[in-house]
Amino acid sequence: MLAPLIAGMALSACLTVMVRRFALKEDFVDRPGGHKGHDKPVALGGGIAVCLTFVLCMLMGLAAAYWVRAAQPAFVPPMLATHADGVVAKAPTALAICGAALVLCVVGALDDRQSLSIGVRLGVQIGVALVLTLLFELRVMTHWPLPLSVGVSAFWILLLINSMNFLDNMDGLSSGVAAIAGGVFATAAALSGQLFVPACAWLLVGALLGFLPFNFHPARMYLGDAGSTVVGLLLAVITILTTFTSPALGDQPFAVVAPLMVMAVPLYDTASVFWLRRRAGVPIWSGDRRHFSHRLVQRGMSVPKAVLVIWLATLVTALPTLLLPRADWQMAMIIGLQTLLVVMLLALIESSGAHGSA
């Protein structure tokens, strides 16, 4: 699993440098003003580097698997060669994921450039979600009636796409949280005996870690909608593909809630921002400084410290989920209670500093 992680980091770092130079040359930048916290233009397009890293590495991996299966070169270790057929079998799913990521990346880049309407953005997201769930059967609870399974799966994809987009409001925040979540999902999938899913997850983590040094405060480059929506999509697809429980291994059914617990902090941020904007009478899709990260800064924290607090909160809710497959109901209750208490702690911190537009 080190191969996709290292390959993703190396390619992402190289592509980030290249895209940043192009963005500055073409004036593809995020300018200060309004609710934005930076005081000088910052290059956009980081999401393009992350998306291209994921897609290119995925395509190279598929091409290598096809070649190994056809040529059967002697220098390829048997331990790797035996997986070639399995990788090839996953090719339609992999290509569908890559295609969906590219669509969101292009639409996100257009939105970063000229601000598309929410109807256009949401329409594309719904279309992508329905194609993945209906045509490529990327669904949760496949034993449910088809309309219900498709509806829940599409809603989950849309929720994570927009939660990660909302979370991309401070230097390094969204990319760091996504890297943490991706690492936990990769570990969970590997522990359940999967290969394709942890490889995809580690590839995403590598792509994010290669970009993160350019994104951490003071940021020299932003993900933009071209990146945050793609990251949300990939996290959603990874959670759908991950087998969190295995009756053959004696796993408990509690593990099916693991994605909710891993993503508890981003989901809480989304829910609280929606509620605060409704209470203030402003459109829920409008940008502002009502996010939890902004409240921490308003309470005296520096930007890096506020980001680190949210990273650590994500780790606290995410890591215990690795115990869920083998947990009895008492341990599962304790793990769930810990997640709830972390979210309640965030709510207390947030409410104590929320005044006016916060």
pLDDT at res. 249: 59
Alpha helices in the chain (DSSP H): 2-25, 46-71, 78-81, 84-89, 91-114, 118-130, 146-167, 173-191, 196-215, 225-241, 258-262, 264-280, 292-298, 303-318, 329-353
Rounded Cα–Cα distance for residues 240 and 141 (Å): 9
Handedness of CA 23, 205, 180, 137 (dihedral sign): positive
Q: Using one digit for the tens of pLDDT, what is the confidence trace for 15-64?
A: 999 999 999 999 999 887 555 656 689 999 999 999 999 999 999 999 99
Question: Do residues 254 and 326 make contact, with C-beta atoms less than 8 angstroms apart?
Answer: no
Cβ neighbours of residue 6 closer than 8 Å, sequence gap 6 or more = 206
Name the pTM for this structure.
0.92
Q: How far is CA 197 from the centre of its chain?
A: 14
- Residue 74 tokens read as 């002697």
Question: Do residues 281 and 144 make contact, with C-beta atoms less than 8 angstroms apart?
Answer: no
Q: Using one digit for the tens of pLDDT, what is the confidence trace for 156-213?
A: 999 999 999 999 989 999 999 999 999 999 999 998 888 899 999 999 999 999 999 9
pLDDT at res. 356: 38
pLDDT at res. 357: 38
DSSP 212-232: HHHHSSSPSB---HHHHHHHH
Q: How would residue 326 be classed by pLDDT, with cut points 50, 70 and 90?
A: confident
Cβ neighbours of residue 208 closer than 8 Å, sequence gap 6 or more = 12, 50, 175, 176, 178, 179, 182, 231
- Mean pLDDT value of segment 284-302: 74
Q: What percent of the chain has pLDDT over 70?
A: 92
Phi, psi of 43 (to 5 degrees): -60, 140
Question: Do residues 226 and 47 make contact, with C-beta atoms less than 8 angstroms apart?
Answer: yes
- Of 55-64, 66-75, 100-109, give the lowest mean pLDDT range: 66-75
| Cα distances (angstroms) measured from residue 109 to each of 58, 191, 227, 352, 353 | 21, 36, 8, 37, 34
Write down the domain spans for the chain. Answer: 1-243, 248-358
Q: Is the peptide bond before 78 cis (omega within 30 degrees of 0)?
A: no
Rounded Cα–Cα distance for residues 242 and 99 (Å): 20
Question: Do residues 235 and 175 make contact, with C-beta atoms less than 8 angstroms apart?
Answer: no
Rounded Cα–Cα distance for residues 329 and 339 (Å): 15
Q: How would residue 291 be classed by pLDDT, with cut points 50, 70 and 90?
A: confident
- If DSSP codes are grouped into helix, strand and coil, which group holds residue 162? helix
Cβ neighbours of residue 205 closer than 8 Å, sequence gap 6 or more = 5, 8, 179, 182, 183, 186
